[in-house]
Amino acid sequence: MEKKIIYSGIQPTGLVTLGNYIGALQNWLKFQDDENYQCIYSIADLHSLTVRQVPAEFRNRALSFFAQYLACGLDPQKNIMYFQSHVHEHAELTWILNCITYIGEASRMTQFKEKSQKHPDNINMGLMDYPVLMAADILLYNTALVPVGVDQKQHLEIARDLAIRFNNAYSPTFTVPEPLISKVGAKIMSLQNPTAKMSKSDTNANATVSILDSEDDIMRKFKKAVTDSDNEIRFGEDKPGVSNLITIYASCKSISIDDAVKELQGLSYASLKEAVGASVAELLAPIKSRYNDFMNDKEQLLAIAKNGQEQASYIARKTLRKVYKKVGLVQL
């Protein structure tokens, strides 16, 4: 049986957080050992240029993100891992897709409207084109499944629309991708506002834990975590702060929520926070050490990126060639 392609892009902005690790990466680690899937992950650096970046910082951050994902255990032997900007077919397919995308549908995107409001001085063409580039990412690789959070669902919808539109206008070319909404993989909330998701771009440093935070920082942030007004350790919708801590503990220890509640029962909130902080520090210690190894060997890091680029280009080139032919461009 042919493997199903799973594709995801990661923008190298903000931080890789504990929420990303528990919510997404832990699932990705399972996919890489599942022979039904071939996973492809890109650092979506071209997407990040829709917001102004400081070049030297941006370059370092993109490399650091790549190293962090490797350090988390994504294996470049099992997954195709590369930088979006290293495969020029992404930009080229974007152009073709632009020509079948309506300004109306692009300008109606929630994220476009939000980002336009946030950066009124820089409402650039790239910002409106963002979902088309994302569609190109996905469609170049015959992607069957895209793991998405709610914030990206609308973008996946437009990718599906464009695939169907192209297939109807020319002939069946693109696989129409489906969202992959995983049942496992817990949603980790902000430590400061446990009714909002832990976000990689949160401006309150105490709200998010970076996977590279020092043990001291981790313990300090958990000490300050928002809990509830009573002293009960119980999982429930009416207790978002404590429930979030229980979820984090359960994920770090790879145990069920019920078992976590049992283990934590009887602790004061202060001790609860300490226990959860310690479980996080223990989980992240080996990741940080692998990260440092990767960052101290840039040559190896770039060699991995080069290898990923070659594998991705091979697939992307074939798709783009087909597309160019179908739309009637002259072939040499």
Catalytic residues, by residue number, are: 115, 197, 200
State the Cα–Cα distance between residues 315 and 84, nearest whole angstrom.
13
DSSP 50: T
Nearer to ligand TRP, 14 or 73 (CB): 14
Nearer to ligand TRP, 101 or 152 (CB): 152
State the Cα–Cα distance between residues 291 and 163, nearest whole angstrom.
37
17 in contact with ligand TRP (CB under 6 A): no
Strand order of the β-sheet with 37-43 is 80-83, 37-43, 4-10, 145-147, 178-180
134 in contact with ligand TRP (CB under 6 A): yes
177 in contact with ligand TRP (CB under 6 A): no
Residue nearest to ligand TRP (CB): 9
12 in contact with ligand TRP (CB under 6 A): no
Nearer to ligand TRP, 8 or 251 (CB): 8
Left if phi > 0, otherwise alpha if psi is -120 to 50, otherwise beta: which for 14? left
State the Cα–Cα distance between residues 101 and 98, nearest whole angstrom.
5
| Residue choice 16, 93, 145, 146 for contact with ligand TRP (CB under 6 A) | 146
138 in contact with ligand TRP (CB under 6 A): yes
141 in contact with ligand TRP (CB under 6 A): no
129 in contact with ligand TRP (CB under 6 A): no
State the Cα–Cα distance between residues 47 and 34, nearest whole angstrom.
29
User: Which residue in 5, 17, 2, 13 sits closest to 280, CA to CA?
Assistant: 17
User: Which residue in 140, 137, 144, 136 sits closest to 1, CA to CA?
Assistant: 144
210 in contact with ligand TRP (CB under 6 A): no
State the Cα–Cα distance between residues 111 and 128, nearest whole angstrom.
9
Nearer to ligand TRP, 24 or 301 (CB): 24
| Residue choice 89, 137, 202, 213 for contact with ligand TRP (CB under 6 A) | 137
Nearer to ligand TRP, 240 or 308 (CB): 308
8 in contact with ligand TRP (CB under 6 A): yes
Q: How many residues bind ligand TRP (CB under 6 A)?
A: 12
| Binding to ligand TRP in span 21-80, by CB under 6 A | 44, 47
Stretch that binds ligand TRP, among 51-59, 132-140, 163-171, 256-264 (CB under 6 A): 132-140
| Binding to ligand TRP in span 147-166, by CB under 6 A | 152, 155
CB 105 within 8 A of CB 161: yes
CB 67 within 8 A of CB 301: yes
227 in contact with ligand TRP (CB under 6 A): no
Closest approach of Cβ 105 to ligand TRP, in Å?
Answer: 17
State the Cα–Cα distance between residues 43 and 56, nearest whole angstrom.
17
User: Which residue in 89, 67, 88, 85 sits closest to 76, CA to CA?
Assistant: 67
State the Cα–Cα distance between residues 81 and 214, nearest whole angstrom.
27
Nearer to ligand TRP, 155 or 197 (CB): 155
Binding site for ligand TRP (CB under 6 A): 7-9, 11, 44, 47, 134, 137-138, 146, 152, 155
